[in-house]
Chains A and B, each alone.
Chain A
Amino acid sequence: MYSTDLRTEKEKKSADQQALPTSNLDDANLWDAFQKRIDNGDIIEAKDAMPEKYRATLLRQISQHAHSEIIGQLPEGNWVTRAPTLKRKLILLAKIQDEAGHGLYLYSAAETLGRSRDDMVADLLSGKAKYSTIFNYPAPSWADIGTIGWLVDGAAITNQIPLCRCSYGPYARAMVRVCKEESFHQRQGYEIVTVLAQGTPEQKQLAQDSINRYWWPSLMMFGPSDSASTHSSQNMKWKIKRHSNDVLRQRFIDATVPQAEFLGLTIPDPDLKWNEERGSYDHGDIDWGEFWAVIKDGGACGKDRIRARRAAAKDGIWVRAAAEAYAKKQAAKKQAA
């Protein structure tokens, strides 16, 4: 997911060592008092005292979530000039503008934890910061724009709805806005896929090919099974996270499979079958080797994505310089008057 912990075990360990509370009494008291607030259902606000590790975890998660929204514009931006109709083009532009907005809400939420947006963006451009692996998959057909809305944004909604009740107020409030807008994204995506699935055999095949490519990467968005992870349980204790990755993934599968069946499309998992006893679908094994490989080497599109962001940052320098010059001139005029 956009907010899944994408660090390797080694990176997690080294971050833990840096963020360990010092052994003085204040910190121990702070941790206890803080946990008590969380247990009471208190929402933590920007200037409240908080353990360094809580702050660092949220800062990493929210900034990575913001980067994912920004990078998420790129596969879609590629289709603006080739959208099949004016209506689809307008919808796609509106969706991409929403993604930019989501990135900005989230950068603002992250800034309340004491790091500037420019610093976070610098980490994205240098390749230091991570973002969701899903955006490193190519979108070579129009059907992918439908699938991205339906499956990728559908997975995002499944993950983000519980984040609306996250213990950190600024993040939770940003998520409320994001979720409202995301449901338009998911619906327009499913509508694109519906039109294709009910079109010519070639159009239906386009939709099927796209699901074949995006199904497994969408399931990977929820992150590895986290029942055994100590990080995950700490995040649950702090109510940064409300459900395990597996619970959310199951919720997504159970909601999505009937939608595919309705369209006569096949989920590319031979082991997928309804489990009467659990009232849920059983699914096949996920290839986590692929997930970690995409994180490590950027997959098919990682280099392109960063190159595109760097070019945008560079091409926008004159705009920002002009805005600064204009603001200075207006301020000087005002002073002279």
Chain B
Amino acid sequence: MTDNWHLFEVFIRSKNGLAHKHAGSVHAQDAQTAILSARDLYTRRGEASSLWIIKSADIIASDPAQDGELFDPADDKIYRHPTFYTVPDGVKNM
């Protein structure tokens, strides 16, 4: 028997119309039992209308050490926000 079964990340859609949100992880041997374990672990009180499961190893994440280089370019482009622009008095917003 092997140690440390695969780790899966669990995403829950609480009701249709909303996006899936990360809920936590489960260990399982295969996708089918991962879904069942996630159901038992994260939806004991009607929290879900849908589950997504993905192997943790398959997630591609940005590197927190590189946060600066990755996200800084957005910081100096304030003209991308509507508040950058002035609307003359008396003109109504859309």
> What is the interface of chain A, defined by CB distance below 8 A to chain B?
45, 47-49, 94, 97-98, 101, 104-105, 108, 111, 116-118, 173-174, 177, 181, 317, 320-321, 323-324, 326-327, 330-331
Query: Cβ of A324: which chain B residues have Cβ within 8 Å of it?
Result: 1-2, 29
Closest chain-B Cβ to A329's Cβ sits at a distance in Å of 10
Tell me the minimal C-beta distance from B53 to chain A in angstroms.
14
Encoded as 1 (CB less than 8 Å from any A CB) or 0, chain B from 1 to 35 comes to 11110010000000000000000111101101100
Assess whether A330 is in contact with B27, with CB atoms less than 8 Å apart.
Answer: no
* Contact call B29/A48, Cβ cutoff below 8 A: no
Known: A101-B44, A317-B1. A326 touches B30 (CB 8 A): yes
The smallest beta-carbon distance between B31 and chain A, in angstroms, is 9
A118 and B24 within 8 A (CB): no
- Does B30 lie within 8 Å of A48, measured CB to CB? no
Q: B29's contact among A108, A173, A323, by CB below 8 Å, is which?
A: A323
* Contacts known (A317-B1, A320-B1); A174 close to B24, Cβ less than 8 A: yes
Kindly report which residue of chain B lies nearest to residue A184, judged by CB atoms: B45
Q: Does B90 contact A (CB under 8 A)?
A: no
Contact partners of A173 in chain B: CB under 8 A? 24
- The answer to whether A327 and B61 touch (CB under 8 A), given A111-B7, A118-B4, is no
CA distance A97 to B24 in the complex (A): 17
Q: Which 7 pairs across A and B sit closest by C-beta, in order of nearness?
A: A327-B29, A327-B30, A108-B25, A118-B3, A323-B29, A116-B4, A48-B64
Which residues of A have CB within 8 Å of B33? 323, 327
Interface residues in chain B, defined as those with a beta carbon under 8 Å from any beta carbon in chain A: 1-4, 7, 24-27, 29-30, 32-33, 40-41, 44-45, 61, 63-65
Interface of chain A: mostly helix, strand, loop or mixed: helix
Residues of A within 8 A of B61 (CB): 47
Q: Return chain A residues, CB-CB under 8 Å to B64.
A: 45, 47-49
Is there an interface contact between A105 and B24, defined as CB atoms closer than 8 Å? yes
Chain B residue nearest in CB terms to A328: B29
**Could you say which of A45, A317, A320 has the most chain B C-beta atoms within 10 Å of its C-beta?**
A320
Question: Which B residues are in CB contact (< 8 Å) with A101?
Answer: 40-41, 44
State the CA gap A118–B27 with chains docked (Å): 11
Q: Which residues of A contact B24 (CB under 8 A)?
A: 105, 108, 173-174, 177
Smallest CB separation, B37 vs chain A (Å): 9
The residues of B that contact A116 with a CB separation of less than 8 Å are 3-4
The minimal Cβ–Cβ distance linking A316 to chain B, given in whole angstroms, is 11
Bound-state CA distance A104–B24 (Å) is 10
With A47-B64, A49-B65, A117-B27 as contacts: A104 and B4 at CB distance below 8 Å = no
Distance (whole angstroms) from the CB of B30 to the closest CB of chain A: 4
Q: Can you list 13 pairs linking A and B with CB atoms under 8 Å apart? A: A45-B64, A48-B64, A94-B44, A97-B40, A97-B44, A98-B44, A108-B26, A117-B27, A173-B24, A174-B24, A317-B1, A323-B33, A324-B29
- CB-CB nearest in chain A for B37: A104
Cross-chain contact B41 with A104 (CB below 8 angstroms):
yes
CA distance A317 to B1 in the complex (A): 9
- Pick from A48, A49, A94, A117: contact of B4, CB below 8 A: A117
* Residue with the greatest number of chain A CB neighbours at <10 A, chosen from B3, B33, B65: B3
A179 to chain B, nearest CB (A): 13
Smallest Cβ-Cβ distance to B7: which chain A residue: A111
Query: In the complex, what distance in Å separates the CA atom of A111 from the CA atom of B5?
Result: 13
Q: A108-B24, A177-B24, A327-B29 are in contact. List 20 more A-B contacts (CB 8 A).
A: A47-B64, A48-B64, A49-B65, A94-B44, A97-B44, A101-B40, A105-B24, A105-B41, A111-B25, A117-B27, A118-B4, A173-B24, A174-B24, A181-B45, A317-B1, A321-B1, A324-B2, A324-B29, A326-B29, A326-B30
Across-interface contacts of B25 in A (CB, < 8 A): 108, 111
Contact residues in B for A94 (Cβ distance below 8 Å):
44
User: Cβ of A118: which chain B residues have Cβ within 8 Å of it?
Assistant: 3-4
Among A94, A174, A181, A324, find the residue whose CB has the most chain B CB atoms closer than 10 A. Answer: A324
